Amino acid sequence: MIKDYRVMLALALAGFVLLALSLARQMQPEWAKHQKAYYKQLDTADAVVEIKQVNVNAPQGGIVVDRCQSCHVGASNPDAQGFGQPIAAHPPIVPGLEKDPHDFGKMGCAVCHDGNGRALEKHDAHGEYHGWPHPLLAGKTAQANCNRCHAMESGTLAGAEVYEKGRELFLEKACWGCHTIAGISTTSQAPELTDAGGKFTFEYLEESIVEPSANIKNSKMPRFDWVHETETVEALATYLKGQQKNRLRSADSAPIGYQKPPSIEQRIASPSVDAGRALFAGVAYEGSISRGGCINCHAFRNGDGDLAGGQIGPELTWSLRARGRTYIKEHILNSRSHVADSIMPSFKDYNDAELESLVAYLSTFDYKADSDDGAKLYDTYCLSCHGENLDGKGAVSTMLDPLPRAFRYQFVESYETRFKESIRNGIKGTAMPMWKNVLDDKEIDALIAYIKERSLAGAPRHFTRLEAPLPRPGDPERVDFKGKGLELEAGDPARGGEAYQANCTACHGKLGNGKGPNAYLLEHPLPRNLLNKEFFNQPAVTDERLYQSILLGVPGTPMPAHDHLRDQTILDIIAFIRANTTEESVQ
Across 444-507, the runs of DSSP E, i.e. the strands, are none
The residue with greater pLDDT, 219 or 564, is 564
Q: Which residues does residue 293 pair with via DSSP β-bridges, in sequence order?
A: none
**The predicted structure's pLDDT at residue 260:** 46
Dihedral angle at the C-alpha atoms of 569, 571, 573, 578, nearest 10 degrees?
Answer: -170
**The predicted structure's pLDDT at residue 525:** 83
Cα–Cα distances in angstroms (integers) from residue 568 to residues 109, 435, 477, 574, in the given order: 75, 38, 7, 10
Which range has the worst mean pLDDT, 167-171, 328-332, 568-572? 167-171
Cα 503 to the chain's mean position, in Å?
A: 34
Mean of all residue pLDDT scores within the chain: 88
Instruction: Provide the pLDDT confidence category of residue 586 given band limits of 50, 70 and 90.
Output: very low
Cα–Cα distances in angstroms (integers) from residue 398 to residues 274, 377, 401, 435, in the given order: 32, 22, 8, 22
The residue with greater pLDDT, 556 or 22, is 556
The 3-state DSSP class for residue 278 equals helix
CA angle 265, 267, 272 (to 5 degrees): 170
In the chain, % of residues over pLDDT 70 = 92
**The predicted structure's pLDDT at residue 583:** 63
The CA-to-CA distance between both ends of the chain, in Å, stands at 83
Q: What average pLDDT does the segment 537-562 reach?
A: 95
CB of 550 within 8 A of CB of 464?
Answer: no
Kindly tell me if the per-residue pLDDT of 326 is higher than 80. yes
Instruction: Provide the pLDDT confidence category of residue 59 given band limits of 50, 70 and 90.
Output: low
Alpha carbon distance 216, 225 (integer Å)? 19
- Helices then strands (H, E): number in the chain? 22, 4
CB of 186 within 8 A of CB of 264?
Answer: no
**The predicted structure's pLDDT at residue 265:** 56
CB of 242 within 8 A of CB of 152?
Answer: yes
**The predicted structure's pLDDT at residue 17:** 73
Instruction: Provide the pLDDT confidence category of residue 257 given band limits of 50, 70 and 90.
Output: very low
Closest CA to 103 of 144, 95, 111, 120: 111
Q: Which helix (H) or strand (E) holds 301?
A: strand 299-301
pLDDT in tens, 405-449: 999 999 999 998 899 999 999 999 999 999 999 999 999 999 999
CB neighbour burial string for 154-164, b if at least 16 within 10 angstroms, e if fewer: beebebbebbb
Q: What average pLDDT does the segment 271-294 reach?
A: 86
CB neighbour burial string for 446-460, b if at least 16 within 10 angstroms, e if fewer: bbbebbbebbeeeee
**The predicted structure's pLDDT at residue 152:** 67
Closest CA to 342 of 509, 156, 529: 529
Closest CA to 436 of 310, 569, 291, 323: 323
Q: What average pLDDT does the segment 140-165 reach?
A: 84
Instruction: Provide the pLDDT confidence category of residue 27 given band limits of 50, 70 and 90.
Output: low
Alpha carbon distance 429, 342 (integer Å)? 9
Kindly tell me if the per-residue pLDDT of 488 is higher than 60. yes
Closest CA to 254 of 59, 75, 399, 537: 59
* Number of Cβ within a 10 Å radius of residue 419: 18
Which range has the worst mean pLDDT, 71-85, 171-185, 248-262, 264-278? 248-262
Alpha carbon distance 31, 45 (integer Å)? 18
**The predicted structure's pLDDT at residue 251:** 53
In the chain, % of residues over pLDDT 90 = 61
**The predicted structure's pLDDT at residue 256:** 42
Cα–Cα distances in angstroms (integers) from residue 512 to residues 69, 508, 515, 520, 575, in the given order: 61, 5, 8, 15, 14
Is residue 86 reached through a cis peptide bond, with omega within 30 degrees of 0 on the bond before it?
yes
Phi then psi for 300, rounded to 5 degrees? -155, 165
Instruction: Provide the pLDDT confidence category of residue 587 given band limits of 50, 70 and 90.
Output: very low
Q: What average pLDDT does the segment 378-396 reach?
A: 95
Kindly tell me if the per-residue pLDDT of 317 is higher than 50. yes
Q: At what angle do helices 325-333 and 352-362 cross, to 10 degrees?
A: 130
Q: pTM of the prediction?
A: 0.80
Residue 64, amino acid = V
**Domains of the chain by range and CATH?**
29-92+103-136 (no CATH), 139-253 (1.10.760.10), 273-362 (1.10.760.10), 374-456 (1.10.760.10), 493-581 (1.10.760.10)
Q: What average pLDDT does the segment 261-285 reach?
A: 81
Kindly tell me if the per-residue pLDDT of 338 is higher than 60. yes
Closest CA to 315 of 226, 431, 428, 429: 431
> Please, what sign has the CA dihedral across residues 130, 135, 138, 144?
positive
pLDDT in tens, 505-516: 999 999 999 999
Kindly tell me if the per-residue pLDDT of 26 is higher than 80. no
Kindly tell me if the per-residue pLDDT of 258 is higher than 80. no
The residue with greater pLDDT, 81 or 552, is 552
Closest CA to 508 of 556, 571, 567, 580: 580
For 272, residues 6+ apart whose C-beta sits below 8 A from its C-beta are 357, 360
Closest CA to 174 of 387, 358, 17: 358
CB of 298 within 8 A of CB of 313?
Answer: yes
**The predicted structure's pLDDT at residue 261:** 45
Instruction: Provide the pLDDT confidence category of residue 70 given band limits of 50, 70 and 90.
Output: very high
Q: Which residues does residue 63 pair with via DSSP β-bridges, in sequence order?
A: 57
Alpha carbon distance 175, 479 (integer Å)? 55
Dihedral angle at the C-alpha atoms of 376, 381, 386, 391, nearest 10 degrees?
Answer: -10
Kindly tell me if the per-residue pLDDT of 531 is higher than 50. yes
Kindly tell me if the per-residue pLDDT of 573 is higher than 90. yes
Residue 444, amino acid = I
Q: What average pLDDT does the segment 273-290 reach?
A: 86
Q: What average pLDDT does the segment 161-179 reach?
A: 90
